[in-house]
Amino acid sequence: MTQGLLMSMMLLVAMAVVCRSAEPPVKDVVLAIHGGTAGPKESLTPEREKAVRADMKRALEAGYAILERDGKALDAVEAAIRVMEDSPEFNAGKGAVFTHEGQVEMDASIMEGNTRGAGAVASVTVIKNPISAARAVMERTKHVLLSGRGAEVFATKEGLETVDPAYFWTERRWQQIQKVWEQEKQQAESLDRKNSAAVDQEREPWGTVGAIALDNAGDLAAGTSTGGRSNKMYGRVGDSPIIGAGTFAENGVCAVSGTGEGEYFIRFVAAYDIAALMKYKNLPVESAAAEVVFDKLKAAGGEGGVIALDAEGRFAAPYNTPGMYRGYVTRDGQIEVRLYAD
Report, in Å, the least distance between residue 311 CB and ligand ASP.
Answer: 25
Q: Residues interacting with ligand ASP, by CB under 6 A?
A: 36, 91, 206-208, 226, 228-229, 238-240, 246, 259-262
Nearer residue to ligand ASP within complex by CB, 132 or 240:
240
**Between 225 and 251, CB nearer to ligand ASP:** 225
> CB of 225: closest distance to ligand ASP in angstroms?
10
User: What's the sign of the alpha-carbon dihedral 246, 272, 114, 252?
Assistant: negative
The torsion defined by the Cα of 283, 224, 305 and 231, in degrees rounded to 10, comes to 150
SS3 label, residue 330: strand
Q: What angle do CA 305, 230, 54 make, to 5 degrees?
A: 60
Closer CB to ligand ASP, residue 67 or residue 146?
A: 146
Q: How far is CA 198 from the centre of its chain?
A: 20
Known active-site residue 208: yes
Question: Which residue's CB is nearer to ligand ASP, number 99 or number 114?
Answer: 99
Shortest gap between Cβ of 98 and ligand ASP (angstroms)? 13
CA 247 to chain centre: 8
Q: Are the C-beta atoms of residues 255 and 113 closer than 8 Å to each other?
A: yes
Q: Which of 37, 99, 208, 259 is catalytic?
A: 208
Per the CB < 8 A criterion, the answer to whether 113 and 251 are in contact is yes
CB proximity list for 165: less than 8 A, separation 6 or greater: 103, 104, 125, 126
Q: Which is nearer to ligand ASP, 315 or 325 (CB)?
A: 325
Residue 82, classified by CB atoms within 10 Å of its CB into exposed (0-12), middle (13-18) or buried (19+), is buried
Q: Tell me how crowded residue 87 is: count the other CB atoms within 10 A of its CB.
A: 21
Least Å distance between CB 245 and ligand ASP?
9
The C-alpha atoms of residue 175 and residue 154 are separated, in whole angstroms, by 33
Q: Which is nearer to ligand ASP, 259 or 287 (CB)?
A: 259
Beta strands in the chain (DSSP E): 29-38, 106-112, 118-124, 145-147, 209-214, 220-226, 247-250, 254-260, 304-310, 315-316, 323-330, 335-338
Rounded least distance, CB 226 to ligand ASP, Å: 5
Contact 85, 67 (CB under 8 A): no
Smallest separation, CB 142 to ligand ASP (Å): 26
Residue 188 CB coordination number (10 Å) = 11
Nearer to ligand ASP, 74 or 266 (CB): 266
Name the minimum Å distance from CB 148 to ligand ASP: 16
Nearest CA among 288, 296, 297 for reference residue 317: 288
Catalytic residues: 208
